[in-house]
A = this chain, B = another copy of it.
Amino acid sequence: MLRVNKKIEYGIIALLYLAQKEEQTASVREMAVSCSIPEALLSKIMQTMKSQGFVQPVYGNQGGYKLTRSLTDINLLEITQTFQGPIQVAECLGSENHKCPAKALCTIISPMTVLNQKIVTLFESTSLENLANRKTAV
């Protein structure tokens, strides 16, 4: 399947929603209702977004979250890494992990590395602004 998980998708949808509201805050409930996303799950997602510095929380009545960065400044790779870890089309790529029994004799590590880099570049060159405008770069 080669899927990006739901946290990533819901997270992006929420950030795009926040961007639309400009400087205003939006609560998790408002975003969940407006975007048909399960509220408890979105709450978790926004906590992570906060910890990564994408949004800032505002407590109390009329509170919620507001964006702290511009959509043009956030790329898909960052979001993906936040919620799904590094892109590794093969498990041996990137983080040093030697679990693969075939590694010593593997004939495809090199091309898999190239393939991985291409996917990384594709994600990296796609900003949330691109997504908001229904485009992907390159």
Interface residues of A (CB under 8 A from B): 1-4, 6, 9-10, 12-13, 16-17, 34-38, 76, 80, 84-91, 101-108, 110-112, 114-115, 118-119, 122, 126, 130-136, 138
Least CB distance, A18 to chain B, in whole angstroms? 12
22 CB < 8 A contacts A-B: A1-B86, A1-B87, A1-B91, A2-B2, A2-B88, A4-B89, A9-B112, A17-B107, A34-B105, A35-B105, A36-B101, A36-B102, A37-B102, A107-B132, A108-B131, A111-B130, A111-B131, A111-B136, A118-B122, A118-B136, A119-B119, A122-B122
Closest residue of chain B to A118 (Cβ to Cβ) is: B122
Query: Roughly how many angstroms separate A60 CA and B90 CA in the complex, as a whole number?
Result: 35
Query: Roughly how many angstroms separate A122 CA and B119 CA in the complex, as a whole number?
Result: 9
Known interface pairs A119-B122, A122-B119, A130-B111; A4-B101 also in contact (CB < 8 Å): no
Query: Roughly how many angstroms separate A135 CA and B115 CA in the complex, as a whole number?
Result: 8
* Contact, CB under 8 Å: A13 / B107: yes
Known interface pairs A4-B2, A36-B101; A9-B136 also in contact (CB < 8 Å): no
Known interface pairs A91-B3, A118-B122; A36-B134 also in contact (CB < 8 Å): no
